[in-house]
């Protein structure tokens, strides 16, 4: 199982002395958008099902406890997931910070981006095929329209219709 934690003890303090130092990397721009798209299921850590919590590796559980115990650090902690590849993030207002990621695959941002493109194109191709099959069916129906009354009359007369 792949496990990656993002806590950095060497992080600089916040802009003011009142603000706590955030020792986790912030997700910004395209990276944030990609992770949000790739991991569409979101649950607050407090509301996470027992099965999800029980399946967390010990190192991830430790990281989450440290993030929760830091006074006033995050407004909330969420688990973003898709089957087999969850990620824990800390949220402060609109800002999102990576806490830990674990699961079936060690994915890079490039792999996530390619995977999302493949999913988008697969959906588009399937939709186009369905539309094409529908149009071919309509074309076949219209091109053979003159034969249908004879077929229906034959079916009625032979008793095959009922």
d(CA 73, CA 26): 13
Q: Is there a single domain that holds both residue 8 and residue 54?
A: yes
Q: Is there a single domain that holds both residue 83 and residue 132?
A: no
pLDDT of residue 130: 93
pLDDT confidence bin for 68, thresholds 50/70/90: confident
Radius of gyration of the chain (CA): 27
Structural domain of 117: 112-158
- For residue 14, pLDDT over 90 is answered with no
Taking the CB of residue 66, how many other CB atoms lie within 10 A of it? 14
pLDDT confidence bin for 20, thresholds 50/70/90: low
DSSP bridge partners of 80: 42, 87
Strands (E), 26-141: 26-27, 41-44, 76-81, 87-92, 95-103
Q: What is the pLDDT of residues 88-117, one digit of tens each?
A: 999 999 999 999 888 766 777 777 788 878
CB-count exposure of residue 113 (10 Å: 0-12, 13-18, 19+)? middle
Q: What is the pLDDT of residues 34-64, one digit of tens each?
A: 888 888 889 998 888 777 777 888 888 888 8
pLDDT of residue 13: 52
Q: Is there a single domain that holds both residue 98 and residue 21?
A: yes
pLDDT of residue 26: 92
- For residue 160, pLDDT over 90 is answered with no
- State the average pLDDT over residues 122-137: 89
Domain total in the chain:
2
Question: How many alpha carbons fall within 13 Å on the CB side of residue 52?
Answer: 21
Q: Is there a single domain that holds both residue 59 and residue 93?
A: yes
- For residue 127, pLDDT over 80 is answered with yes
Residues in the chain: 162
Nearest alpha carbon to residue 7 among 110, 75, 90:
90
- State the average pLDDT over residues 130-139: 87
Higher pLDDT, 146 or 131: 131
d(CA 119, CA 126): 11
Q: Is there a single domain that holds both residue 54 and residue 76?
A: yes
State pTM to two decimals.
0.62
- For residue 11, pLDDT over 60 is answered with no
d(CA 75, CA 62): 19
Q: Is there a single domain that holds both residue 63 and residue 125?
A: no
């Amino acid at each position: 199982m792949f496990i990656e934690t993002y806590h950095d003890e060497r992080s600089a303090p916040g802009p003011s002395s009142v603000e706590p130092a955030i020792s986790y990397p912030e997700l910004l721009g395209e990276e944030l958008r990609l992770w949000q798209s790739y991991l569409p299921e979101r649950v607050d850590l407090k509301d996470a099902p027992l099965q999800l919590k029980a399946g967390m590796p010990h190192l991830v559980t430790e990281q989450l406890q440290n993030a929760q115990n830091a006074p006033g650090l995050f407004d909330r902690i969420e688990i973003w997931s898709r089957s087999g590849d969850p990620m824990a993030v800390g949220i402060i207002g609109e800002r999102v910070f990576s806490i830990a990621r674990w699961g079936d695959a060690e994915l890079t941002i490039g792999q996530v981006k390619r995977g999302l493109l493949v999913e988008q194109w697969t959906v588009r191709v399937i939709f186009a095929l369905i539309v094409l099959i529908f149009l071919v069916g309509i074309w076949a129906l219209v091109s053979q329209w003159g034969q249908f009354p004879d077929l229906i009359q034959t079916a009625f007369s032979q008793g095959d219709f009922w």
